[in-house]
Chain A
C-alpha cells in the first residue's frame, strides 16, 4: 500500500516538473499542479474500475495520495512564496513598451504566431492594440489595452526573419516592395523579429533587440 502511495507521489512530482518545463502553451486555463491532478486522477480512477484484477484499494490509496499532495502543495503555496513560483510559475510580460519580448516568449515555449492567436482570442487584433501583454501563470493572456483599438485585422508578414508569402500576397505586397521597405528601415530580413500589416497598410515593425515602430506600407489589397 505504501508502495502505491510513494509511486503516485513520484509520478505526480514528475508530471508537475514536466508540465512546468513545457511552459504555458501546454497548460490552458489551469495552474500546472491543477492540470497534473486532473490528468492523473482521471487515469487513477479508471484503472481499478476497468481492471478487476487490481484491488480497488490501490485506486483509493492513489487518489488519497493525490489529495494529500494537492493539500501540501496548496499549503506551501500559501506559506512560502518561492514555492508558489516554483510550482505554479509566474506571469510573463511578453509585450512591453518596447514591443515583443522575444526572450519571454521563448522561455515559455511560445512563438509570435501563438502570441497573435492569444491576442485575437482576448479580443485584440493588432499587436499595437495593447500597451502591455502578459501570459498569466495559468497560461491565459491578459493585456492593458490602448484607448483606441485598430479597426482592421493585422496579418503576420514576417515572423522571426521568415516571410509568410501567403499573407504577403493577401496584403497585395510584392516581394520587391517588402525588400524596398526593409531597405528603408535599414534592416535585413534575418534581423526582423516581427512585421504585421493591417488592412489600412499600417505596419507593426520590430527588429530583434530593438523597439517596435509603427509605419506605413503601400498595401494594395484592403480588407
Chain B
C-alpha cells in the first residue's frame, strides 16, 4: 500500500510539475513570437518591411512550432502557418495594406491560442 501511495503522489507531483512547466513554456514561446510579429507589423505599417523580415519571423515560428506540436493540437498550429505564409507572400509583393490585415488576424490567434489551453472555467466546460 505504501508503494501505491508513493506512486500516486509521484504521479500527482509529476503532473503538477508538467502543467506548470508547460504553462510557463507556452506563454514564453507565444510572447516571443508575438514580439517578433509586433516588430513586423510596425515595419509593414511603415511600408519598410521586406521579404527577409517576413522570412525571419517565419523561421522563428518554424523553430518554435516544432516543440509546440508536443503541447498543442496540430490543426491549431497549422492556422498560424497558413496566415503567416499569406502575410509573407503579401509582404514580398509589397501589398502592405493586405499584409496588415493578415498580421492582425495572426496577432489575434497568437493572443487567443494559449488562452484556449489554460485552466479556466470556460475552457473546462
A-to-B contact residues, CB < 8 Å = 1-3, 5-7, 10, 52-55, 57-58, 61, 64-65, 67-68, 71-72, 74-75, 78
Contact = CB atoms under 8 A, between A and B. Distances in A.
Contact of A1 (B7, B12, B22): B22
B51 interface: no
B82 interface: no
A185 B71 CA distance: 73
Contact of B124 (A7, A52, A57, A64): A7
B70 to A, nearest CB: 6
Q: Top 5 nearest A-B pairs by Cβ distance? A: A71-B8, A2-B19, A2-B119, A53-B74, A1-B22
Given A53-B74, A54-B73, A3 B11 contact: no
Nearest to A52: B74
Nearest to A51: B73
A5 B12 CA distance: 10
B15 A55 contact: no
Chain A facing B: main interface SS:
helix
A57 B117 CA distance: 13
Nearest to B22: A1
Contact of A72 (B8, B14, B69, B75): B8
Contact of B19 (A1, A10, A58, A72): A1
A2 B73 CA distance: 15
B36 interface: no
A3 B122 CA distance: 11
B20 to A, nearest CB: 9
Consensus secondary structure, chain B interface = helix
Contacts of A54: 73-74
Contacts of B4: 71, 74-75
A141 to B, nearest CB: 31
Nearest to A72: B8
B72 interface: yes
Given A1-B15, A3-B118, 15 more contacts: A1-B18, A1-B71, A1-B117, A2-B19, A2-B119, A3-B119, A3-B123, A5-B15, A5-B19, A54-B74, A55-B71, A57-B70, A67-B8, A68-B15, A78-B1
A57 B67 CA distance: 12
A82 B119 CA distance: 32
Contacts of B23: 1-2
